[in-house]
Amino acid sequence: MKFYVFIIFLFFAAGCSEEKVQPSVNTSLQISKLPAQESWDDTVFFSDSGNTKAILYAKHLKMYDSPQETLLDTITVKFFNPAGQQTTTLTSNKGKVNDLTKDLYAIDSVVAVNDSGVTLRTQELMWKNKDRKIVSDKFVTITSPKERVQGFGFKSDESLKNYTIYNITYVTRLDTTNNSKLKNKN
Run of H or E including 2: helix 2-15
- pLDDT at residue 183 in the model: 40
DSSP 38-97: EEEEEEEEEEETTEEEEEEEEEEEEEETTTTEEEEEEEEEEEE-TTS-EEEEEEEEEEEE
Contact present, 89 and 78 (Cβ < 8 Å): yes
Contact present, 153 and 141 (Cβ < 8 Å): no
- pLDDT at residue 63 in the model: 93
How high is the mean pLDDT in each 10-residue block of the chain (186 residues)?
62 61 74 84 87 91 91 94 91 94 94 94 93 94 94 93 92 70 38
- pLDDT at residue 181 in the model: 39
- pLDDT at residue 47 in the model: 83
Domains of the chain as residue ranges with CATH: 35-138+158-163 (2.60.450.10)
The strands making up 86-98's β-sheet, listed across from edge to edge, are 37-48, 51-64, 69-80, 86-98, 104-114, 119-128, 133-143, 147-157, 163-173
Q: Which residue in 90, 166, 161 sits closest to 126, CA to CA?
A: 90
- pLDDT at residue 185 in the model: 37
- pLDDT at residue 51 in the model: 86
- pLDDT at residue 5 in the model: 59
- pLDDT at residue 184 in the model: 37
